Amino acid sequence: MEETKPNAAEDATRVGALRARFEMAQARLNAAKIAHLNGTPIDGQEVSYEVLKRTAQETIQANYELQKATYGTIRLKLSVAKLLRRGR
């Protein structure tokens, strides 16, 4: 059986969906960082370091999927520590 390659429109749609998922994860991480610093709950629960770490890992995963779809490989490695720095 021959494997069919997706056409350009399908690729663009997939990359667009992955980009939206990454941007949403990034916004959620920023909100979680601010909530953690201010000691306020998000979605009815306190934001602990474990919640921040899990949110950062989800953001990294979304970024890696976007990079693979866009470039075919992961070009920029991210870490939880880098994402949790202030102002980033």
* Position 1 in a domain: no
Residue 85 per-residue DSSP state: S
Mean pLDDT, each 10-residue run in order, the chain (88 residues) = 66 93 96 93 92 96 96 93 78
Extract the tokens encoding 84: 């949790």
pLDDT for 8 equals: 76
pLDDT for 87 equals: 61
* Position 2 in a domain: no
Q: Which residues constitute the domain of residue 43?
A: 10-84
H runs (alpha helix) in 1-88: 8-38, 49-71, 80-84
Contact 42/32 with Cβ under 8 angstroms?
Answer: yes
How many domains would you assign to the chain? 1
pLDDT for 86 equals: 66
Contact 15/70 with Cβ under 8 angstroms?
Answer: yes
pLDDT for 4 equals: 59
pTM for the predicted model, two decimal places: 0.84
* Position 57 in a domain: yes
* Position 3 in a domain: no
pLDDT for 32 equals: 94
* Position 43 in a domain: yes
